A = this chain, B = another copy of it.
Amino acid sequence: MAAERLVVIGGDAAGMSAASQARRLKGPDALEIVAFERGHFTSYSACGIPYWVGGDVEARDDLIARTPEEHRERDIDLRMRTEVTELDVAGQRVKALDRESGETYWTGFDKLVIATGARPVRPALPGMDAAGVHGVQTLDDGQALLDALDALRSEGPRRAVVVGAGYIGVEMAEAMLKRGFEVTVLNRGEQPMATLDADMGRLVHEAMDGLGITTVNGAAVTKILTGPDGRVTEVATDAGTYPADVVVLGIGVEPETGLARDAGLPVGPHGGLLTDLAMRVVGHDNIWAGGDCVEVLDLVAGRTRHIALGTHANKHGQVIGSNIGGGYGTFPGVVGTAVSKVCDLEIARTGLREKDARAVGLRYVTATIESTQRAGYYPGAKPMTVKMIAELRTGRLLGVQIVGREGSAKRVDVAAVALTAGMTVEQMTALDLGYAPPFSPVWDPVLVAARKTVAAVRGAGS
């Protein structure tokens, strides 16, 4: 019998990374690891689902980084299709429900990792559960959508309505376009990609128009209409009604923290668990949490946010596993970097938008420039727009947004590092970024934006 038992709730990125890293540092004699996963899969890339649906990725299993069997080979007692339904913090135990057998049982823990992830936001509107309405958060969701698309193949009209114009929405718009659908994106907000300022979102809107995707802004869904067979026929919004053979919901997620809340664990303003830098749940030395169910510190805004993103979940798991395994790691926070694409349009952001800056009391200036991702004379040079936000007076970088074509999005990483380092835009103008004609104009677009932002900081006076 092992010296102590680690229980992990949730078998995806954060949970299984934590389990694997703890196992790497401590053998089965020192640490027993029991992991519960309520679904059919472990350690898969939810971010890859749009590309699987769109046909870029052939098989579902391509998205699975590690199967249950592979985890078990690493001496992790993984219990699939088993949901933790109750957490007894004081008693250091969890109650599990085996979904296959219906059996329930308690399991004690010395250490606990909560990695319950996020659940899709599904507004309680009429028709939301109709046949032909699909979420795309899990592999099961993706399979259900693909099956539905196959069934539609032989039929006549092929109209897809995507609800939501954030990352999942625009990626699913691309996927449905690739599947040969006429695609309409219904966007509640002013412009698509609300994670950008509206002036940059407008560029995304225009580019989506150019790709043949219709985006309707200011269109909040009020009802899903169905035919006599119970299948979706139209989507009604406060801005009009849109015919639909299939509806894809891409309206974001929220932390899955019901279990933790019921157990009295602390959640933040966005509904996510609150942790310290070592990813321990605040006030609980033997309980860790990570992935889509926690709030993370936004290093630029100085307060917590909820960001559901696989790359953070993996880092959390790594940190948690290191600490549980007797090593040391921290997750200092995020600067809010995100990249995405719709067909050949690339979209990136990091740091604060204008409204984020205002919300935390920062005064700022902005500058927007147009350049190209390669030297203008080099084949494939295409437009790239960079918006930069800097603090008034100090000139400290606050955020960057990029909309462009191939080779644009990952340049946001330069700004992500600069934000982490607390650089001013003046310091950024001297950055030694890689230059050669196939890769950049002689002034890298990020440097051009920094120079223009410097001028804005100066021009704004003190």
A interface with B by C-beta (< 8 Å): 13, 45, 47-48, 51, 56-57, 62-63, 65, 167, 309-312, 314-315, 330-332, 334-341, 348, 350, 375, 377-379, 407, 409-414, 416-418, 420-421, 423, 427, 429-440, 442-444
Contacts and interface: CB of A to CB of B under 8 A. Distances in A.
Contacts of A433: 311, 337, 413, 416
Given A414-B414, A442-B13, A437 B45 contact: yes
Given A407-B407, A409-B439, A418-B417, A432 B337 contact: yes
A34 to B, nearest CB: 25
A375 B413 contact: no
A311 B310 CA distance: 36
- Closest CB pairs A-B (n = 4): A421-B421, A339-B434, A311-B435, A417-B417
Number of copies: 2
Given A337-B432, A417-B431, 8 more contacts: A48-B377, A63-B377, A311-B440, A315-B430, A332-B430, A350-B434, A416-B433, A420-B421
A167 to B, nearest CB: 8
A126 B401 CA distance: 56
A435 B56 contact: no
Contacts of A48: 375, 377-378, 437
- Residue among A51, A311, A418 with the highest chain B CB neighbour number at 10 A: A311
Given A48-B378, A56-B378, A442-B314, A339 B417 contact: no
Given A47-B436, A435-B47, A435-B339, A442 B311 contact: yes
A432 B336 contact: yes
Contacts of A439: 339, 341, 409-410
Contacts of A429: 315
A416 B432 contact: yes
Contacts of A444: 311, 413
Contacts of A350: 432, 434
A315 B348 CA distance: 26
Contacts of A331: 430
